Amino acid sequence: MMAMMERHAGLEEIFLEHQTALLDRDVARAREALARYGERLAAHMAEEESAILPLYESRCPQPPGGTTRMFLDEHRKLRELLADLAAAADALPAGPDPKTLLAVLDRETQFKNYMDHHDRRERAFLYPALDAALPDGERAVLLASLGFR
């Protein structure tokens, strides 16, 4: 199940593209990268919510790293924070001044910290618990259904 963490690495790369575009003051490129990031994050959370978390709830009834509800609440918070970032990016003028740009980057720090917290909880608890709870064959079928080979 740790293969699912590959999704997080890909997301981090896209967010870096977004922030690099901000530093270049290329607002259009920054918005495009953030939109792509949002689409991929939404898809990843949807696959966790439809395939991963129901298994976690049924196979790991006393999980050490938090309940399914905690992960769902984190997803909700990530969606809210990302919507705020998208609104801030949409409000940026072309070639923003340093003060405006720093304000946006500061807001993004909160999101990145929350995402890091979420990532660490999944890496330490969610996926290892599922790895332990699922037989190899079932795990392989699940991963294949999510596009892993």
Q: What is the pLDDT of residues 75-106, one digit of tens each?
A: 999 999 999 999 999 999 999 999 999 999 99
Question: 54-73: per-residue pLDDT in tens?
Answer: 999 999 988 777 889 999 99
| 30 CB neighbour count, 10 Å cutoff | 23
What CA–CA distance (Å, rounded) separates 59 from 78? 25
The parent domain of residue 112 ranges over 2-145
pTM of the predicted protein model: 0.93
- Phi and psi for 148 in degrees, rounded to 5? -95, 145
Number of domains in the chain: 1
